[in-house]
Amino acid sequence: MKLARNILLVDDEAPWLRTLAITLNRLVPEATIDTCIDSRQVINRLEVGDYALVLLDLTMPFHSGEELLESIRNTSPYTRVIIVTGVNQVDTAVRCIKHGAYDYFIKTDKVDDLARTVRQALEVVGLERNYLRIKQSFLSKTLNQPEAFDNFLTCEPALLDQFRYFEAVAPSPEPILIQGESGTGKDEFAKSAHLLCCPQAPFININLAGISASAFELQLFGKINTLEDGQLCAQAGALHQVQSGLLYLNEIGDLPIEAQAKLVDVIEHKQYYPIGSDKAYPVMCKIITSTQHDLLALSKAGKFRNDLLYRLRSHTIKLPPLRQRKLDLFMLINHFITLAAEEMDLPRPEQPNTLASQIAEYEFPGNLHELRGMVFDAVSRSDGIKLNISPFMEANNLTKVAADNTAQLTFPKELPTLAQMSDALINEAMSRTANSQTVAAKMLGISQSALSRRLKHEK
């Protein structure tokens, strides 16, 4: 079910209908306004088009507004109805509200109040449809557009759940916040959102790390200058360029706090002003943000605005770090082996079957970036047959040494000889490092040549 922002205005008075459409286009620019002057066509219009909201007159030829209200609520339960009429009667208003009208307005009421109610009704419809979409998606346990996630390799249930949730909320008009450590795939999720909600429209990525408030405002809003001869000189900002596409604000936690108020205004009012202009332009795009920081902690420290935080986390995606994706290690390593061999024009080496289990306890602080670097290093040092696992063992054993140093050894009742202990240590080190003498020597605290001599002595 689409999260529509379409509004149908129904009234038999053409001048009023035209005036109302122009007014709502100006005050609620994020909505698409259609009009209908014949009450007999309303139900058919709702069957053909997906309308979130209907503004309905009461006194019309052929079908009254109250009749249409009942029909709309029965046939289109996820479409809200606001009565806008010249009938100023309390009992009529009460009856309409009881029969399912979202609100009741007299044509002489302030149009700003009507516009505010229209926007609130659109948000309610969006939340209702979002809930239904998420519920259906999780019950089905399937993806409607699995191709949107082709840039991910995973069989982890927790990440697959995030895919289903993401697919459900991607069309929502509300912002989406993607949280995750560096290297967990935040940029790829933003690209998936683009494929899900507006694949034919532009995708603009703005990295906010190190950006100043003035640079952010210029890049987002653009600038309009009036030359001496009266002509206008314009520099288009991202909001103009993206149109109805997707705007991705990467590392939102780094946005200067003085610039955050500008973004709050954009999200709240769905409009913006280019620098040097007093004319408002509508914001039609989808906004995705990402961060590796704890925004709540930044907010408590006074470095991130509360009002922006609450608006950004309407929908939140939390990406697991690589250390929580142990089921994915084997196929991720294979994927990076293929990439490395292609990029370096080298024979593709085979991954040892035990490699993924050997490094399963490694923390991978750099996540996918670190794993990719390890694989590329390993491929460059391989013989084209078997993958050289030294880069993995070197990183893995550095973390194990500190832990192992604090561990206490457990001896059998009959103590082994020094020679037996030496042989056992060497065998264990060679086993842990997949017979890599260089890494095993580092683990044992001896030189590679010394280890080589001991191995030859064993033979």
What pLDDT score was predicted for residue 1? 37
d(CA 425, CA 315): 52
Interval 316-325: pLDDT, tens = 999 999 999 9
φ, ψ (nearest 5 deg) of residue 111: -70, -25
Q: Label residue 208 exposed, middle or buried (CB < 10 Å: 0-12, 13-18, 19+).
A: buried
How many whole angstroms from its chain centre is CA 64? Answer: 45
| Cβ pair 276, 234 in contact under 8 A | no
| Cβ pair 340, 384 in contact under 8 A | no
Q: What is the pTM of this model?
A: 0.65
Contacts of 382 (CB under 8 A, 6+ apart): 346, 349, 388
Q: List, for the chain, all residue ranges whose pLDDT scores fall below the cut of 50.
A: 1-3, 399-407
H-only helix segments in 228-384: 238-242, 257-269, 295-300, 306-312, 329-344, 355-358, 367-380
Contacts of 417 (CB under 8 A, 6+ apart): none
Strands 6-10 and 53-56: parallel
Instruction: Annotate 53-72 with b (16+ C-beta within 10 A) or e (fewer).
Output: bbbbbbebeebebbebbeeb
What pLDDT score was predicted for residue 143? 80
What pLDDT score was predicted for residue 230? 67
Q: Which residue, chain included where needed, has tokens 């390993």?
A: 378
Q: Label residue 110 exposed, middle or buried (CB < 10 Å: 0-12, 13-18, 19+).
A: exposed
DSSP at 413: S
